[in-house]
């Protein structure tokens, strides 16, 4: 009986070791798709006009086997309510291309830095007479972003959380009809899954 238990234990350890080794030998796909969502904080002058909003988005992450740097393309929808008015929303749809630098880590959790540029489409929705001072047309502008995140590399799926700072270049009457155009600045904090 003791010999059978010893043989079973050895066989079990052998199977676990070989499955772990084979799992490590099989590289994960260099291309990951993902979804994310969270809260978006307007900053600078915009926090005086807009309330904290929400965001949702999707992404494609392209990694390289021998490099800590990856490329990422994502699209995100952000929506804010106006502070002085009810029933009016300010929405920002962005598409960005970014470089991702994955910091070295021996654990499943890995910090990363992200930075890039993109285009931002801005629009005031549900306009009315009491909000006529603001531009109600759809405007597309260039912007920059940068931030950091924490990604958990689990088998088949990678949960993550990140915060990014976005700076959108406005001018003329892009935001307000009186020419008062603070640069649009916002910080989305998102949680998501890559798979």
Question: Is this prediction's pTM over 0.85?
Answer: no
Domain chopping of the chain, boundaries: 28-194
Least confident of 157-161, 172-176, 184-188: 172-176
- 113-152 burial, b at 16+ Cβ within 10 Å, e below that, comes to ebbbebebebbbeebeeebeebbeeebebebebebbbebe
Comparing 195 with 16, the larger pLDDT belongs to: 195
CA dist 186 and 180 (Å) reads 18
Residue pair 65/111 in contact (Cβ under 8 Å)? The answer is: no
What is the predicted pLDDT for the residue at 14?
40
Lookup result for tokens 């021998």: 66
Residue pair 74/62 in contact (Cβ under 8 Å)? The answer is: no
Largest CA distance in the chain: 89
Of 184, 68, 58, nearest to 120 by C-alpha is 184
pLDDT 10s digits, 26-62: 346 799 999 999 999 999 888 888 999 999 999 999 9
Residue pair 114/98 in contact (Cβ under 8 Å)? The answer is: yes
pLDDT 10s digits, 71-97: 999 999 999 998 877 778 899 999 999
What is the predicted pLDDT for the residue at 124?
86
Is the pLDDT at 15 greater than 80, yes or no? no
Q: Could you tell me which CATH class the domain 28-194 is placed in? A: mainly beta
φ and ψ of 52, to 5 deg: -60, 135
Of 164, 125, 168, nearest to 146 by C-alpha is 164
Of 35, 83, 36, 39, nearest to 187 by C-alpha is 39
């Amino acid at each position: 009986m003791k010999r059978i238990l010893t043989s079973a234990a050895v066989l079990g350890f052998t199977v676990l070791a070989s499955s772990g080794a084979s799992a490590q030998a099989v590289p994960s796909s260099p291309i990951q798709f993902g979804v994310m969502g969270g809260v978006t904080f307007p900053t600078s002058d915009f926090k005086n006009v807009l309330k904290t909003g929400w965001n949702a988005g999707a992404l494609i992450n392209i990694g390289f086997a021998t490099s800590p740097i990856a490329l990422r393309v994502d699209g995100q929808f952000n929506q804010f309510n106006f502070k002085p008015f009810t029933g009016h929303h300010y929405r920002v749809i962005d598409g960005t291309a970014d470089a991702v630098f994955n910091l070295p880590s021996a654990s499943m959790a890995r910090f990363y830095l992200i930075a890039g540029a993109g285009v931002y489409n801005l629009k005031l929705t549900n306009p009315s007479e009491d909000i006529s001072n603001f531009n109600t047309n759809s405007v597309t502008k260039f912007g920059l972003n940068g931030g950091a995140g924490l990604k958990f590399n689990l088998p088949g799926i990678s949960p993550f959380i990140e915060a990014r700072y976005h700076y959108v270049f406005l001018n003329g009457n892009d935001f307000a009809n009186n020419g008062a155009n603070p640069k649009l600045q916002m910080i989305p904090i998102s949680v998501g899954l890559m798979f």
